[in-house]
């Protein structure tokens, strides 16, 4: 793809800066409509916020409580479409809200019935009140003293980075050029000040490229200001990041199939406990942070808050030593302008900002609505540039790997239709040896990730092509040398490269471990 992109004669319809959920959704829609697309990611795809979500495909029950019906309606429709388009990665997840007293029961039953109605035909199942006995039967680890009954509702649950990789594969199959480890460091402009292209550097070779595009899109999440500064050096700061942390626990803390949603913790936040890849993800928090970074670090008070709240609702209190991994992601919030004005969250619904140069910046939204965000951005581009409107082509587009009725007890289930190819590779090249019995990863997955999923580093494989870093950080560090050796063989790298890879993986991953 680097070779293709270096052809200076091309002018691409879209150049997208940023390979998180937003950029990936735009690349899918634009390539599905037949446009030529280049997507550039400075690190690995979803390295930032998009690999650190709560893993929910949801309308957002809490936004309904805030009266944002339009936002919830849009998200529950997208939830239903994603469930149809990527059934190997998205599943219907039942949640139970533990209630305290009749008012709670009524409030949540009525509210969640409205939530179901908003989804119409795309509803994932009816909400209902269940008795205390039934609640205790369904969630064997819930503290009986904390509940009077329960309300069950349904949302979607997914694997964020696996969806990103498969969506990028779909875009690539429709002609898009998608490149990781390529960072944009400047924009090119014509005499009228209109942006005409980007300058980027291949981080592996340090080679610089200049490419031309008709529509340049800034989809860099919490880094949006960096690109806005490239467009206009005096651009004001618009983003103030806020951090959300999750802890991962062993399945014994929530051994049954239902997730728990605690709608009002002591400080008014929502807390989820969700089964994920045979573990439990617990979170999240909302803490203002000074500076954006690709590897935000969980704060002690965030960890304590999650452990304390979970302990109150579970019969077995999770301790620090039970935490298999801790990960943090950043939300782009609007920076406060002047004293006295409160920071206002812009991340709930997505927004498109137009710069005088024609640059479009998309921020906010959520993973659940990534397809719709792509549709809106491409519609806006067509309108702004006077191009004919091509109706969206992604509503019913099956995502790469599409497979119905996957058996989720199969350790390779999330590859969907690619599983067969991986097993074939494993048979032909003798790659069936396990590299982690507890995480159930085999050598073939590493080779597959390098050959077919653009993995370039140990971290790409352990954090994002498989989810070992988030599922058991210590075990993933133990796996790192073997993974480095397999990748080195594939990419023709030497021992020094392997050593450096393992060291840098361990350095990053030590932040995912609680001492």
Interacting residues toward ligand FAD by CB under 6 A? 17-23, 40-43, 47-50, 52-56, 58, 183-184, 219-223, 226-227, 244, 284, 294, 329-331, 365-368
| Minimum CB distance to ligand FAD smaller for 18 or for 416 | 18
Q: At its nearest, how many Å lie between ligand FAD and the CB of residue 229?
A: 10
Q: At its nearest, how many Å lie between ligand FAD and the CB of residue 58?
A: 6
Q: At its nearest, how many Å lie between ligand FAD and the CB of residue 397?
A: 19
Phi and psi of 418, rounded to 5°? Answer: -75, -15
| Minimum CB distance to ligand FAD smaller for 108 or for 367 | 367
Q: At its nearest, how many Å lie between ligand FAD and the CB of residue 13?
A: 19
Q: At its nearest, how many Å lie between ligand FAD and the CB of residue 440?
A: 24
Side-chain half-sphere CA neighbours of 259 within 13 A: 29
Angle CA(91)–CA(88)–CA(349) in degrees, nearest 5? 55
The residues, ordered by sequence, that sit 6+ positions from 304 with a Cβ below 8 Å of its Cβ are none
| Minimum CB distance to ligand FAD smaller for 154 or for 366 | 366
| Minimum CB distance to ligand FAD smaller for 227 or for 431 | 227
Place of tokens 């779909």: 170
Place of tokens 């400075």: 42
Rounded alpha-carbon distances, angstroms, from residue 408 to 370, 432, 482: 24, 20, 26
Q: Is 223 left (phi over 0), alpha (psi -120 to 50) or beta?
A: alpha
* Residue 72: DSSP 8-state: H
Pull the structure tokens for residue 53: 């979500």
Kindly report whether the peptide bond that precedes residue 284 is cis, defined as omega within 30 degrees of 0: yes
Of 356, 441, 497, 402, nearest to 173 (Cα)?
402
Q: At its nearest, how many Å lie between ligand FAD and the CB of residue 333?
A: 10
Q: Round to the nearest angstrom and report the end-to-end CA distance of the chain.
A: 42
Pull the structure tokens for residue 193: 């000040």
* Residue 389: DSSP 8-state: P
| Minimum CB distance to ligand FAD smaller for 48 or for 501 | 48
Q: At its nearest, how many Å lie between ligand FAD and the CB of residue 89?
A: 13
| Minimum CB distance to ligand FAD smaller for 12 or for 443 | 12
| Minimum CB distance to ligand FAD smaller for 48 or for 309 | 48
């Amino acid at each position: 793809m680097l070779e293709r992109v270096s052809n200076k004669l091309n002018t691409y319809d879209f150049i997208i800066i940023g390979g998180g959920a937003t950029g990936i959704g735009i690349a899918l829609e634009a390539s599905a409509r037949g446009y030529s697309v280049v997507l550039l990611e400075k690190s690995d795809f979803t390295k930032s916020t998009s690999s650190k979500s709560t893993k929910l495909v949801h309308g957002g029950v809490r936004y309904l409580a805030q009266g944002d019906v339009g936002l919830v309606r849009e998200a529950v429709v997208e939830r239903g479409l994603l469930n149809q388009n990527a059934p190997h990665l998205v599943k219907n997840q039942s949640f139970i809200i533990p209630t305290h007293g009749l008012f709670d029961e009524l409030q949540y039953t009525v509210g969640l019935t409205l939530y179901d109605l908003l989804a119409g035909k795309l509803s994932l199942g009816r909400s209902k009140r269940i008795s205390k006995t039934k609640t205790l039967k369904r969630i064997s680890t819930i503290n009986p003293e904390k509940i009077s009954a329960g309300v069950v509702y349904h949302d979607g649950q997914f694997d964020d980075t696996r969806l990103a990789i498969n969506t990028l594969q779909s875009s690539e199959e429709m002609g898009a050029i998608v490149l990781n480890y390529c960072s944009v460091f400047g924009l090119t402009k014509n005499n009228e000040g209109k942006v005409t292209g980007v300058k980027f550097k291949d981080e592996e070779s340090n080679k610089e490229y200049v490419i031309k595009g008709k529509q340049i899109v800034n989809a860099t999440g919490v880094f949006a200001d960096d690109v806005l500064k490239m467009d206009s050096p005096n651009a004001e700061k618009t983003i103030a990041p806020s951090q959300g942390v999750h802890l991962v626990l062993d399945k014994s803390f929530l051994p049954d199939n239902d997730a728990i949603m605690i709608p009002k913790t002591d400080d008014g936040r929502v807390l989820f406990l969700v089964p994920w890849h045979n573990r439990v993800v617990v979170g999240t928090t909302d803490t203002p942070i000074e500076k954006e970074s690709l590897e935000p670090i969980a704060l002690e008070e965030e960890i304590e808050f999650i452990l304390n709240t979970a302990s109150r609702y579970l019969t077995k209190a999770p301790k620090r030593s039970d935490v298999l991994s801790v990960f943090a992601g950043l939300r782009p919030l609007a920076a406060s302008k002047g004293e006295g004005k409160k920071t206002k969250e812009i991340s709930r619904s997505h927004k498109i900002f137009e710069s005088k140069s024609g640059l479009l910046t998309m921020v906010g939204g959520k993973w659940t609505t990534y397809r719709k965000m792509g549709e809106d951005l491409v519609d806006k581009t067509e309108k702004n540039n006077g191009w004919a409107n091509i109706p969206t082509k992604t509503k019913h587009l099956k995502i790469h790997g599409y497979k119905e009725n996957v058996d989720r007890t199969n350790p390779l289930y999330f590859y969907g239709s690619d599983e067969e190819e991986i097993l074939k590779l494993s048979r032909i090249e003798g790659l069936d040896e396990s590299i982690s019995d507890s995480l159930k990863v085999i050598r073939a997955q590493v080779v597959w990730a390098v050959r077919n999923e653009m993995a370039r580093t140990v971290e790409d494989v352990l954090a994002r092509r498989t989810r070992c870093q988030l599922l058991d950080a210590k075990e993933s560090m133990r796996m790192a040398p073997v993974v480095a050796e397999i990748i080195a063989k594939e990419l023709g790298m030497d021992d020094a490269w392997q050593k450096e890879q393992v060291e840098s993986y361990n350095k990053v991953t030590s932040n995912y471990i609680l001492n």
